[in-house]
Structure 1
Amino acid sequence: MLLRAPPLALYVHMPWCVKKCPYCDFNSHGLRGEPPYEAYIDALLADLAADRSDFAAALHGRPIVSVFFGGGTPSLFAPAAIARFLEGARRQLPFAGDCEITLETNPGTVEHGRFDGYRAAGINRLSFGIQSFDDDKLRRLGRIHSAAEAETAVKSAQDAGFVDINLDLMYALPAQTLAGALADVERAIALAPTHISHYQLTLEPNTAFAARPPPLPDEDAAWDMQEHGQALLAAAGYAQYEVSAYARPGFRCTHNLNYWHFGDYLGIGAGAHGKLSDAARGAVRRRWKVRHPWAYLEVAGTGARLGGDADVPRDELPSEYMLNALRLLEGVPLTEFSARTGLADAAIAAPLAAARRRGWLESDPGRLRASALGQRFLNDLIGLFLA
């Protein structure tokens, strides 16, 4: 089968935050003095130039459809630093005319008035890590902002002209009730963002919460929070299109959709991961960078910046693909599997048949789409495709 080059995105990792949250397993580092912001921008541009050189043939003629500044807390970086990076990146790679450019922001790190600067820098989408509008829950989660500060920050961004705004909300928080979870959803809706990410708090390995688990709602209570939250969001005009993503019409997240459709993305910054389809070789390649910010700063423009770089084994491609695609409620065309992996449909015939026998997939032979039961047992469904 012929592997085709999918859309191409750019992920930019900004590793610092004011302090590490106890549930976070991302490559983030609490502040200890002033980070070398300008030097880090230089390192990002050097890293991008090195990747561009390494992948010149695979990148040729492909525009960047989305840029995502993740972290950490990217809003620790001043608008001028973000603008300098975007200007440098545009000199290296073509950006699509409608390129979505998202900045993750913590309400506790942006002063009133700075949103104008981010908009002028080229940011056209903001993602606020709010998590809850309950001050007690924010304290338990280790967040540095209050509910009032979160609301003020979102309104300030809207006043600055931002239209495309996502709010991250968690449910099944420590000692949370159904009423408390739904109150969070209602307060988020009241702010009228264009997109809401509503996801369950999970205890990830190597986090403070994993070492000292807080009292969390049980699975049945968490399921109630999810279902009732879905109903509130739907009634307010937010259509669910992925396991935890809800959007008003026309405001689905381009960057995340590219992930879920097994698209390509360059990953630059400390610990950033990338994935690239090499149609000429018929291979899907993953690359990641060294994790620690200070080590990364020293080697960002050299081969030593790589933490790993290897083709995805062909027998692992089915599970890699399904891990993303089956999160989409509308599913994906079956033909996309071959186009994105280079494998024949026969590679997944047996697990597809098993999934349909169990009622985990819809019966449409031309589409890969989890049924309602399959969404409930999504991890088990994806597990059928493991090598």
Structure 2
Amino acid sequence: MFADRVLSGMRPTGSLHLGHYHGVLKNWVQMQHEYECLFFVADWHALTTHYDNPQIIEQSVWDMVVDWLAAGVDPAHATLFIQSKVPEHAELHLLLSMITPLGWLERVPTYKDQQEKLTEKDLSTYGFLGYPLLMSSDILIYRATHVPVGEDQIPHLEFTRELARRFNHMYGREPGFEEKAEAAVKKLGSKKAKLYAELRVRFQEQGDDEALLSAKALLDEQQSLSLGDRERLFGYLEGGGKMILSEPQAILTAASRMPGLDGQKMSKSYNNTITLREDEASVTKKIRTMPTDPARIRRTDPGTPEKCPVWSLHQVYSSEDTKQWVQKGCTSAGIGCIECKQPVIEGVLAEQRPMRERAQLYLDDPALVKNIIADGCEKARKLAGETMRDVREAMGLSYS
């Protein structure tokens, strides 16, 4: 019913590192050519845990957007915007909070996990409890059909789907819904109306999923239907009411396997990162001084690649031939650790070079970044406004 639309956001944490690139941005760059994509800066989300230090947020926002552009996210193919510049997110969050059971929020797995991990912060706030609802509002306000998530975020998306279902069930039964739906069926023309009715009965009486898919495909082909009639027919088909909010599907993304300089997952909290646009001398120094297999005390000592953090980086950056050369050279002490590190240095620098070149354009003229975001915010507000018009009407708030 709704066009394929992807939504994804990131908290502004300042300059991004190669873990962000391999875990998120590479996916964004690919998806922008396959779907209508909206990528946003989740600055309100940053306040749920950094409400006591908001000064860091603004500069972090611009640094992060430059990193997106440097990584290849293209404003000609995706809409880039800042969450707080689209106040409709907050309005939908407020309205959905009226119908969201408290127990739903408390059972989101990350709620207790984060409280246990971030013990130095007071997270006994309404904003922190309600952040999964704000996340749902971010998705639902654009009627996003797909959201890229890792395994750990699936409960958040399921929460969003349940919320859309609850809202549609409570508010989708507009007065005279059946009569309006039957009138919409007639607009299909006699042949297609008959087929729609048959498929609807097969699905509702026999649970035939193939019939449901065929009926949805039939409706997708109807160009002359108004949006209202299209929504009614989709709702009528499934036995519900008018579909006001769409239930997003997950695009499951592989967990980033980008290791840090110490072999652990690359993370600012471990102080083991290489940033996307870090200068060549710094990158070279960081990799050259990486710890290696502790058994290789002298150059003549053989080593075990699997016990060395550098080997993890070879998995990301080196060809099969290079990896075989490392395996043979390390285990026989035929190569030294500095030699082993050189292909990794070259691989990282080669990956970063186009990023630095793309970023320079925006660093030389910061107004370009501001204009991209301003255009994106305008597009996002238009889409959000369309959803809010329907939500207000459904909830009896469209006063004329």
TM-score by length of 1: 0.26
**Where is the helix percentage greater, Structure 1 or Structure 2?**
2
TM-score by length of 2: 0.26
Q: Based on CA coordinates, which of the two structures has the bigger radius of gyration?
A: 2
**Looking at both structures, which has the greater relative contact order when contacts are Cα pairs under 8 Å and sequence separation is at least 6?**
2
